[in-house]
């Protein structure tokens, strides 16, 4: 009996390749089949799609192919690369692990590193996020920042395909690494538009690109939900149990506290919307009012809990949805304990307010409140 041929079909290919019955190389988004055709490259079950950061990483790879590093140069030296990654890991263990909730600091400092030793996609996402942290420490952008941002892109681009493939094969052996990776990638997606804005290139000024990069955080929120829903029994028994304890429903639906920081004009604007979307907006506003003066973790949790119906309105650039999201940015931008939340919130306010037309006094009041809020935090 002739030996059986090894399996060569793509098991985790993009939707375009599956539709066209082409073998996907699974390196995207975008994959090598979709990239030359400028197709909308998406992968089933993950929510990941073509992004501005993918474009930048592809340009870096093309530049490397056209101008290969001569032998003997530091970037081609494996020992130099190893020392650089040891330096990144040292920075993570010394500083970057504090970027998340204080209650989870031990998990991110120790347990995450242990898991990363056995899951390369987690290690790459950890290193990518650390690169952004190092770049953020020098916001004046000294020359090393350009290089460290390139490294961040390369690590993130390398982590995505493996992470995406594992996300459709969640098991007891990888669910912890997937959950931690999705949390780190969510933070990466939230803060990365800040560096686009700082670089101030023509591409980054494009409103469509800016909107997409600022809402990409929601794709990773879906990843968090997917991991928790698929592996709840395993996670309940793991050290990550505290990381999946979401706020009770009554926290979000209670009457908002007196003197909520959210401008009351938001509710006036909500009353003028269609009945179909009014309930969605009212729920999102109530949740934001309830988290505005509570613990800081609840403000971050809002973006996870607000729901897909509201997310769809943000992605469709509905004015009130953008205004509510801007208010979230103003609240999270007040954080003095988390560098990435501060930068992410300030960038959301600055970049999205240009997409909102000021057609009434209420809208103007809300935008001015958000701008003044992040200005006062910076000072």
170 and 305 both lie in a single domain? no
Q: Give the pLDDT score at 76.
A: 46
Evaluate whether residue 127 is within a structural domain: yes
Residues 117 and 163 in one domain: yes
Q: Which pLDDT does position 218 carry in this prediction?
A: 80
* Least confident range of 238-247, 301-310, 366-375: 238-247
Q: Is residue 236 part of a domain?
A: yes
Segments forming the whole domain that contains residue 122: 79-243
Q: Which of 243-247, 281-285, 287-291, 352-356 has the lowest mean pLDDT?
A: 243-247
pLDDT at 117: 94
Highest mean pLDDT: which range of 30-44, 172-186, 254-268, 344-358: 172-186
Same domain, 207 and 255: no
Assess whether 106 and 227 both reside in one domain: yes
For residue 52, pLDDT over 50 is answered with no
* Same domain, residue pair 237 and 307: no
Higher pLDDT, 227 or 221: 227
pLDDT above 90 for 247: no
Residues 231 and 254 occupy one common structural domain: no
Asked whether residue 360 is domain-assigned, the answer is yes
Which residue do the tokens 């309830």 mark? 290
User: 26-35, 176-185, 227-236, 246-255: which has the highest mean pLDDT?
Assistant: 176-185
Whether 354 and 338 map to the same domain: the answer is: yes
User: What are the pLDDT digits (tens) for 58-77?
Assistant: 554 455 455 544 433 334 45
5 pLDDT above the threshold of 50: no
Last-in-domain residue among 243, 274, 300: 243
Percent of the chain with pLDDT over 90: 32
pLDDT of residue 280: 94
What pLDDT does residue 6 have? 44
Q: Are residues 324 and 358 in the same domain?
A: yes
Asked whether the predicted pLDDT for residue 113 surpasses 80, the reply is yes
- Given a cut of 90, is residue 282 above it in pLDDT? yes
- 122 and 190 within one domain: yes
Q: Looking at residue 71, what is its pLDDT?
A: 39
Q: Which residue has the higher pLDDT, 59 or 136?
A: 136
Residue 128 falls inside a structural domain: yes
pLDDT at 155: 94
Query: Does residue 60 form part of some domain?
Result: no
Q: What percent of the chain has pLDDT over 70?
A: 75
Residue with more model confidence, 3 or 281: 281
| pLDDT number for residue 53 | 45
Sign of CA dihedral 217, 222, 227, 228: positive
SS3 annotation, the chain: CCCCCCCCCCCCCCHHHHHHCCCCCCCCCCCCCCCCCCCCCECCCCCCECCHHHHHHHHHHHHHHHCCCCCCCHHHCHHHHHHHHHHHHHHHHHCHHHHCCHHHHHHHHHHHHHHHCCCHHHHHHHHHHHHHHHHHHCCCCCCHHHHHHHHHHHHHHHHHHHHHHHHCCCCCCCHHHHHHHHHHHHHHHHHHHHHHHHHCCHHHHCHHHHHHHHHCHHHHHHHHHHHHHHHHHHHHCCHHHHHHCCCCHHHHHCCCCCCCCCCCHHHHHHHCCCHHHHHHHHHHHHHHHHHHCCCHHHHHHHHHHCCHHHHHHHHCCCHHHHHHHHHHHHHHCCCCCCHHHHHHHHHHHHHHHHHCCCCCHHHHHHHHHHHHHHHHHHC
- Give per-residue pLDDT as tens, 169-225: 899 999 999 999 999 999 999 998 888 755 444 334 445 555 667 777 887 887 788
Residue 147 in any domain: the answer is yes
Q: Looking at the structure, tell me whether residues 344 and 360 fall in a common domain.
A: yes
- Whether residue 13 lies inside any domain: the answer is no
Q: Does residue 257 register a pLDDT over 60?
A: yes
Q: Is residue 66 part of a domain?
A: no
- Which of 223, 243, 263 is where one domain is finished? 243
- pLDDT higher at 31 or 51: 31
How many structural domains does the chain have? Answer: 2
Report the chain's mean pLDDT, rounded to a whole number: 79
**pLDDT for res 98:** 92
Residue 28's pLDDT is 66
Do 97 and 229 lie in one domain? The reply is: yes
- Indicate the residue among 213, 243, 273 that finishes a domain: 243
């Amino acid at each position: 009996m002739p030996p059986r041929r090894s399996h060569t079909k793509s098991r985790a290919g993009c939707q375009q390749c599956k539709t066209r019955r082409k073998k996907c190389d699974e390196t995207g988004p975008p994959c090598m089949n979709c990239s030359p055709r400028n197709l909308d490259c998406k992968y089933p079950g993950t929510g990941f799609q073509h992004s501005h950061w993918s474009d930048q990483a592809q340009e870096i790879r093309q530049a490397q192919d056209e101008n290969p590093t001569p032998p003997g140069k530091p970037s081609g030296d494996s020992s130099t690369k190893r020392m650089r990654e040891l330096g990144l890991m040292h920075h993570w263990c010394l500083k970057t692990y504090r970027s998340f909730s204080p209650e989870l600091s031990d998990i991110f400092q120790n347990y995450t590193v242990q898991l990363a030793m056995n899951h390369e996609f987690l290690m790459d996402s950890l290193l990518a996020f650390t690169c952004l942290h190092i770049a953020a420490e020098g916001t004046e952008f000294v020359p090393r920042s350009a290089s460290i941002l390139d490294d961040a892109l390369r690590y993130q681009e390398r982590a995505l395909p493996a992470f995406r493939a594992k996300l459709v094969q969640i098991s007891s052996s990888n669910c912890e690494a997937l959950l931690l990776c999705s949390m780190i990638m969510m933070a990466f997606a939230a803060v990365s538009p800040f560096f686009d804005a700082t670089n101030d290139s023509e591409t980054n000024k494009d409103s469509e690109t800016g909107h997409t990069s600022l809402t990409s955080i929601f794709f990773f929120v879906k990843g968090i939900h997917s991991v928790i829903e698929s592996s709840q029994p395993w996670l309940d028994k793991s050290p990550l149990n505290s990381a999946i304890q979401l706020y009770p429903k009554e926290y979000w639906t209670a009457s908002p506290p007196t003197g909520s920081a959210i401008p009351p004009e938001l509710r006036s604007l909500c009353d003028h919307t269609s009945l179909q979307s009014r309930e969605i907006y009212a729920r999102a506003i109530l949740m934001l009012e309830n988290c505005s003066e509570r613990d800081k973790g609840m403000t971050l949790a809002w973006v996870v809990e607000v729901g897909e119906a509201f997310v769809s309105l943000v992605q469709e650039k509905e004015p009130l949805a953008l205004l509510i999201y801007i208010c979230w940015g103003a609240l999270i931008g007040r954080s003095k304990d988390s560098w990435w939340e501060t930068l992410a919130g300030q960038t959301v306010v600055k970049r999205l307010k240009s997409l909102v037309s000021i057609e009434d006094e209420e809208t103007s009041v809300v935008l001015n409140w958000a701008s003044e809020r992040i200005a006062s935090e910076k000072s």
